[in-house]
Amino acid sequence: MRIKQFEDRYQLEPSFEENPVNIRKQRFIEDEQIRVQQNLAGRPSNIGYFEGLMYERDYSTKDRLRIGYFCRMIPPEILMAFDADAVRLDCGNGAAAAVGEEVLSGEICPLAKASFGSFLQADSLANTCDVVVLPSSCDAKRKMGEVLNDFVPTFVFNLPSEQNHTRYARASVSELIRLIGFLETQTKRRFSTRRLKAAIASGLRRTRLVREISDLRMRNPRALSVRDLFLIIQSVLFRPIDLDAWTEETRLVCDELASRDAPSRSLRPRLVLTGAPMVWPNYKVLNIIEESGADIVADTLCTGAQSCFDPVIVDERGRRSMLRALANTYVFASICPCFISQTTRINRILDLAATSDADGVISYSLRLCQLFDVENYRITKTLKARQIPHINIRTDYSLEDTEQIRIRIEAFLETL
């Protein structure tokens, strides 16, 4: 089956922006976050391995197929079944957003602008990908597919708008089959069920480890800063890596955390973080929360522990049942606000607040992302009705509002 998503008729020549000043700004933002994080106390002894992955700037050399993808709804296992590195491309650098803005002008969220901005930079990791896959999650992503297709063959995965399994499971599986057909056409490789099975198994190992670290942190959040937790998780999602090596290193982190004694009593407030994605180096709000004396003990972010929360459970043999299991995990268990109902997300927040014994919830929204803005109304009311303290922080990628946010968060913490 030969599949191509967009017609060639209006295809444009990709144009790259030579902007050395902006590149320097991007590096500066990254260096600042590296500096902040390197000053954290009690980091795992092998944190250098994860830093090496995240801080690497030259990924131009590759000996494997590389498939880029966006969001939490694309199963990386499908991409790995093509014997490819699966690399998530959502970008968190504010300077890259400024580049993207020059082309994608208008009221678009900074994550979409920054992600597009990274394609405008010829030597970026995004431009080393052979194929890109993104879901029709929000308007920006839905429309960005055709724009990215000028740079690299791109597939837009049609998501159902509703997480109604009975009604849309079949449609999601057939969309996964269409994705497989597209990747076969573009990569000239055969999809392998055997490799898919192996990819699901290694995905499960990753999920177990992330859950184990999350449980350890719930008991003793001071054992690992949430910023290092995000660094560890994002290194496996956002970089082309050797998954076995990552698994071994993360195993060492778990063992080290387990050997650390939890303080018998901590006065630091325990918080659940929910909301928009935070992608390295955009850890501004994480810096402020921890520096203000609180701990994030659980999160629902699609770039945090939530990204690896739900295991893929295959209950029957065969390719189709594996695809169904992937759709169940990545589409129907997703808590992305792009779906019609926000029940899954509210359930997860309440569940995490109870199981982590949290003192409050922090919502984080990115300016110009209407999805989170609209959801915040019901989340605020629901938490208030249950007397769970809650604050909503609405910001973008710039650092200008850092002190304002710090004041708001400190005031919130005082009320706990």
DSSP string, 83-117: TEEEEE-----HHHHHHHHHHS-SS--HHHHHHHH
- Of 26, 137, 328, 376, the residue at the interface with ligand SF4 (CB under 6 A) is 137
Task: For ligand SF4, give the closer residue by CB, 153 or 277.
Answer: 277
333 binds ligand SF4 (CB under 6 A): no
338 binds ligand SF4 (CB under 6 A): yes
- Cβ 75 to ligand SF4 shortest distance, Å: 13
DSSP string, 160-218: -SS--HHHHHHHHHHHHHHHHHHHHHHH-----HHHHHHHHHHHHHHHHHHHHHHHHHH
302 binds ligand SF4 (CB under 6 A): yes
Q: How many residues does the chain have?
A: 416
- Of 85, 90, 175, 228, the residue at the interface with ligand SF4 (CB under 6 A) is 90
- Cβ 90 to ligand SF4 shortest distance, Å: 5
- Of 44, 153, 160, 277, the residue at the interface with ligand SF4 (CB under 6 A) is 277
Task: For ligand SF4, give the closer residue by CB, 157 or 246.
Answer: 157
- Of 72, 217, 239, 345, the residue at the interface with ligand SF4 (CB under 6 A) is 72
- Of 138, 231, 305, 314, the residue at the interface with ligand SF4 (CB under 6 A) is 138
97 binds ligand SF4 (CB under 6 A): no
3-state secondary structure of 55: helix
Distance CA 295, CA 275 (A): 16
Task: For ligand SF4, give the closer residue by CB, 55 or 70.
Answer: 70
3-state secondary structure of 119: helix
Strand ranges for 268-340 from DSSP E: 270-275, 295-299
336 binds ligand SF4 (CB under 6 A): yes
Rg (CA), the chain: 21
Would you say 396 and 366 are in contact if contact means Cβ atoms under 8 Å apart?
Answer: yes
289 binds ligand SF4 (CB under 6 A): no
- Cβ 336 to ligand SF4 shortest distance, Å: 3
Number of alpha carbons in the 13 Å side-chain half-sphere of residue 374: 10
Distance CA 28, CA 96 (A): 12
112 binds ligand SF4 (CB under 6 A): no
Residues making contact with ligand SF4 (CB under 6 A) = 71-72, 90, 137-138, 277, 302, 336, 338
